[in-house]
Amino acid sequence: MTTNLRGAALLRDPRYNKCTCFTEAERQALGLVGLLPEAVDDEKVQLQRALTQLAQKPSNLEKYLYLSALQDSNETLFYRVLMSDPAAFLPLVYTPTVGEACLHFSHLLQRPKGLYVSLNRKGHVREILRNWPERDVRFVVVTSGERILGLGDLGANGMGIPIGKLALYTACAGVPPQFTMPVTIDCGTNNEAFLQDPMYIGLRQSRASEAEVDQLVDEFVAAVLEEFPYCCIQFEDWGRFDAFRLLDRYRERLCCFNDDIQGTAAVVLAGIFGALRITGGKLSEQKFLFLGASQAGVGIAELLAQAMVAEGLTPEQARARNWLFSSKGLVESTRADLSDFQKPYAHAHAPTKTFAAAIESLKPTAIIGVSTVAKTFDRQVIEAMARVNERPIIFALSNPTANSECTAEEAYEWSDGRAVFASGSPFMPVRYGDQTFVPGQCNNMYIFPAIGLAVYATRAKLVTDEMFIAAAHAVAEQVSAADLDVGLIYPPQSSILATEIRVARHVAEVIFARGLARVGEPKDIGAFIESHVYKPEYPAVTG
């Protein structure tokens, strides 16, 4: 690796900084003598020092801040820490800790990360993109901050989400970090507490109109394609109506996807495939009831329906096996308050106002919570599911942990240990009777980084739903019999990199088969994917 940086400037650059791992020859050649202590560490010693410092932090938020500072100072060491124990450290840089960080993001700001594209800069977006230091960007994760996890409108404080998502691209799937760019589209916020907070970092106005948002996003997308022609755009945590509208507008025109719609749907599908290895039966034989009828619920229902069609159902038959329940009751054909994206799932049924009553009537094999409202899978709900199913499938997916529809312990206890459970945020193993259950975390980290690695390697032109279905199958097939015996329906996060590389191979096969790649198809797709994987290793540095 060659750089023009020397001395203190080199130590301040997170991509090139090796801190105490600079060799004696590098210190002499690069003007570092005296700027570092005499000891020349190997990478194991440096990692142990970072882990020791991290362990001394008193809370997860403090650990998040430590890791954020480490990313700003030594990028390679940051990823070495995350990849040394993904199950322990990924929850610190993403869910659930990132939710708390976003709530206080303006107060925690130390060194700005990412790119802020404000409504005030309309007409100058391409100039803003040119301020980014890298000229080859392959992935943008962009949020409007309007619907952050289950926390609502956080405005510019939502920047923590694209930062965290892109860290997972690298830590989970080996996408090289220099090709990533986190972006916040700042169109104001309707969060009055933030507007009154003198430390709030965003545009201090109410959210702009739909037309103004669309104009800015159109300019942003066009500028990204002009500046970074091989870039894939991931839309993240947009408002309910913006999410579907923007995905429909761009999905056939450029390489993009919405993780809340497609990524969430794919990881739920993967979990269902895993659960069916416990309960038995085909996907097309199941009936699903969703608590929550917004972008996540409808997106999951649509991908489940597409996967059912692949098993032989018609689209109409497949959609009829998916039911939605909103805050106003069961989504059914007599309701006049439905959005267009909900109407395909408004089936004929008597109006039903309670979720437990809908379970008794519809007898779903699985309930999927995307409500963002805690404790909505109460004892009555779980017991109803246990009455109509020998092994009820219970997915409580709302994030962060405080918003989960139920805890793992509640699901197992109220179902007499028969539930097949997964959640959006992690829960510890649960002892019930003479058995220990290991709850699965239905986390998008199993899906979107692998999609990213496949897109990066193939330079794909588009991202399709077929790619997400392939990813779901590839995740589910990696769950072992031993995992299933303890109720775990996702592969262990401790081996997330190997899991994602395998998933990326399956996705790449679809990309090549559909003629969507902008590179030639290799003889060995698995080896081709492996050759693109980032490893957190220091190269030799010369001036």
- Summarised one tens digit per residue, pLDDT across range 29-81 is 999 999 999 999 999 999 999 999 999 999 999 999 999 999 999 999 999 99
What was the pLDDT predicted at 542?
A: 78
Query: Are 218 and 254 spatial neighbours (Cβ–Cβ below 8 Å)?
Result: no
What was the pLDDT predicted at 49?
A: 98
What was the pLDDT predicted at 297?
A: 92
Shared domain for 297 and 170, answered yes or no, is no
Shared domain for 18 and 119, answered yes or no, is no
* CATH assignment of the domain containing 75: 1.20.1370.30
What was the pLDDT predicted at 240?
A: 73
SS3 444: helix
d(C-alpha 390, C-alpha 367), whole Å:
14
199-203, 384-388, 436-440, 537-541: least confidently modelled range: 537-541
Taken as a whole, the chain contains a residue count of 543
d(C-alpha 319, C-alpha 296), whole Å:
15
Residue where one domain finishes, among candidates 72, 89, 106: 89
* CATH assignment of the domain containing 290: 3.40.50.720
Shared domain for 196 and 339, answered yes or no, is no
Shared domain for 234 and 332, answered yes or no, is no
Model confidence pLDDT, tens digit, residues 515-527? 999 999 999 999 9
Shared domain for 347 and 417, answered yes or no, is yes
Catalytic member of 94, 456, 490, 538:
94
Model confidence pLDDT, tens digit, residues 212-262? 999 999 999 999 999 999 999 999 999 877 888 999 999 999 999 999 899
With respect to residue 507, please indicate whether it lies within any of the assigned structural domains. no
Q: Is the peptide bond before 351 cis (omega within 30 degrees of 0)?
A: no
Model confidence pLDDT, tens digit, residues 400-413? 888 999 999 999 99
Q: Are strands 115-118 and 180-186 parallel, antiparallel or unpaired?
A: parallel
Q: How many CB atoms lie within 10 A of CB 253?
A: 10
d(C-alpha 298, C-alpha 128), whole Å:
35
Query: How confident is the model over 355-374, as a mean pLDDT?
Result: 96
- 94 noted as active-site residue: yes
CA dihedral 336, 338, 342, 347 (to 10 degrees): -20
Model confidence pLDDT, tens digit, residues 453-483? 999 999 999 999 999 999 999 999 999 999 9
Shared domain for 271 and 375, answered yes or no, is yes
Q: What share of the chain is helix, strand, coil (3-state, %, to 5)?
A: 50, 10, 40
CA angle 148, 194, 327 (to 5 degrees): 45
pLDDT at residue 284 above 80?
A: yes
Query: How confident is the model over 523-536, as a mean pLDDT?
Result: 98
Q: What percent of the chain is modeled with pLDDT above 90?
A: 93
What was the pLDDT predicted at 391?
A: 97
d(C-alpha 265, C-alpha 276), whole Å:
16
Closest CA to 183 of 203, 161, 200: 161
Q: How confident is the model at residue 149 (pLDDT cuts 50, 70, 90)?
A: confident
Query: Are 271 and 422 spatial neighbours (Cβ–Cβ below 8 Å)?
Result: yes
- 16 noted as active-site residue: no
Choice between 530 and 543, residue whose per-residue pLDDT is larger? 530
Model confidence pLDDT, tens digit, residues 413-456? 999 999 999 999 889 999 999 999 999 999 999 999 999 999 99
State the average pLDDT for the chain: 96
With respect to residue 286, please indicate whether it lies within any of the assigned structural domains. yes
With respect to residue 522, please indicate whether it lies within any of the assigned structural domains. no
What was the pLDDT predicted at 88?
A: 94
Residues 6 or more apart whose Cβ sits within 8 Å of residue 93: 64, 67, 82, 164, 167, 168, 171
d(C-alpha 413, C-alpha 379), whole Å:
9
Model confidence pLDDT, tens digit, residues 106-115? 999 999 999 9
Closest CA to 223 of 185, 274, 189: 185
Catalytic member of 165, 412, 456, 538:
165
d(C-alpha 400, C-alpha 414), whole Å:
22
What was the pLDDT predicted at 399?
A: 82
Query: How confident is the model over 320-328, as a mean pLDDT?
Result: 96
pLDDT at residue 2 above 80?
A: no
Shared domain for 241 and 289, answered yes or no, is no
Shared domain for 336 and 417, answered yes or no, is yes
d(C-alpha 267, C-alpha 511), whole Å:
19
Query: How confident is the model over 147-158, as a mean pLDDT?
Result: 92
Q: What percent of the chain is modeled with pLDDT above 70?
A: 100
Residue where one domain finishes, among candidates 444, 462, 485: 444
Query: Are 421 and 487 spatial neighbours (Cβ–Cβ below 8 Å)?
Result: yes
d(C-alpha 221, C-alpha 234), whole Å:
11
* CATH assignment of the domain containing 173: 3.40.50.10380
Please give the tally of structural domains in the chain.
3
β strands within 79-178, DSSP E: 115-118, 139-143
Shared domain for 181 and 314, answered yes or no, is no
What domain range is 355 assigned to?
262-444
Query: Are 507 and 452 spatial neighbours (Cβ–Cβ below 8 Å)?
Result: no
Shared domain for 70 and 106, answered yes or no, is no
Q: Is the peptide bond before 315 cis (omega within 30 degrees of 0)?
A: no
Shared domain for 110 and 150, answered yes or no, is yes
d(C-alpha 514, C-alpha 526), whole Å:
18
What was the pLDDT predicted at 294?
A: 85
With respect to residue 537, please indicate whether it lies within any of the assigned structural domains. no
d(C-alpha 496, C-alpha 446), whole Å:
7
Shared domain for 46 and 124, answered yes or no, is no
Query: How confident is the model over 164-182, as a mean pLDDT?
Result: 98
Residue where one domain finishes, among candidates 444, 477, 501: 444
pLDDT at residue 543 above 80?
A: no
With respect to residue 37, please indicate whether it lies within any of the assigned structural domains. yes
What was the pLDDT predicted at 163?
A: 98
With respect to residue 149, please indicate whether it lies within any of the assigned structural domains. yes
With respect to residue 543, please indicate whether it lies within any of the assigned structural domains. no
pTM given for the model? 0.93
What was the pLDDT predicted at 541?
A: 81
What was the pLDDT predicted at 508?
A: 98
With respect to residue 451, please indicate whether it lies within any of the assigned structural domains. no
In degrees rounded to 5, what are phi and psi of residue 431? -95, 120
Model confidence pLDDT, tens digit, residues 184-209? 999 999 999 999 999 999 999 999 99
Residue tagged 């507007």 (tokens)? 195
